[in-house]
C-alpha cells in the first residue's frame, strides 16, 4: 500500500512539473532595442566556416508572400539562458528586440518582425530534460 501511495504522489508531482513547464514555454518577456540591422544580418547570414553556432535561424515572410523581400528573421539560442544573458546576447547581435521565455529559451528578433518575432519557445536544447524524461530511463 505504501508503494502505491508513493507512486501516486510521484506521478502527481510529475504531472504538475510537466504542466508547469508547458505554461512556462508560453510566457515570455520582451523588450525593444535600437538595433543594428546590418550587424544582425551579418550574424545570421555569414557562412559557418567549420565553427558551430550556438543558435538556429528561422526566417519567414512578413506579409505571407514568399520572396517578398521583407522577411522576419529570428535567432533562437540553443541552450537555456537567464533573462539578463538573453538580453545581453541579443544586444550584441544587433537585434531590434528579443523575447525571453520563462522556460529559459531566448529569441533575438530582427528588424522586419512584428510582435517580437515568434511567440513560441523553439530552442534546440531548451528546456532542459525534466523529470518526465528521467522516468523513461528507469
Q: For residue 124, give every residue at least 6 positions away whose Cβ sits within 8 Å of its Cβ, in sequence order, or none.
A: 56, 76, 78
Asked whether residue 22 carries a pLDDT value surpassing 80, the answer given is no
Asked whether residue 51 carries a pLDDT value surpassing 90, the answer given is no
C-alpha–C-alpha distance, residues 115 and 90, integer Å: 16
Asked whether residue 45 carries a pLDDT value surpassing 60, the answer given is yes
User: Which residues span the domain enclosing 67?
Assistant: 2-137
pLDDT at 129: 66
The structural domain count of the chain equals 1
pLDDT at 9: 44
Q: What angle do CA 62, 79, 43 make, to 5 degrees?
A: 50
Amino acid at each position: 500500500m505504501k508503494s502505491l501511495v508513493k507512486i501516486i504522489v510521484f506521478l502527481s508531482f510529475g504531472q504538475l512539473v510537466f504542466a508547469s513547464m508547458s505554461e512556462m514555454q508560453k510566457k515570455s518577456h520582451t523588450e525593444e532595442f535600437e538595433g543594428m540591422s546590418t550587424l544582425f544580418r551579418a550574424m545570421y547570414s555569414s557562412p559557418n566556416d567549420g565553427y558551430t553556432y550556438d543558435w538556429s535561424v528561422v526566417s519567414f515572410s512578413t506579409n505571407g508572400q514568399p520572396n517578398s523581400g521583407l522577411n522576419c528573421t529570428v535567432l533562437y539560442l540553443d541552450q537555456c539562458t537567464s533573462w539578463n544573458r538573453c538580453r545581453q546576447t541579443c544586444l550584441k547581435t544587433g537585434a531590434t528586440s528579443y523575447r525571453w521565455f520563462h522556460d529559459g529559451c531566448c529569441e533575438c528578433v530582427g528588424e522586419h518582425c512584428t510582435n517580437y518575432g515568434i511567440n513560441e519557445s523553439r530552442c534546440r536544447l531548451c528546456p532542459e530534460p525534466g523529470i518526465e524524461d528521467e522516468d523513461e530511463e528507469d
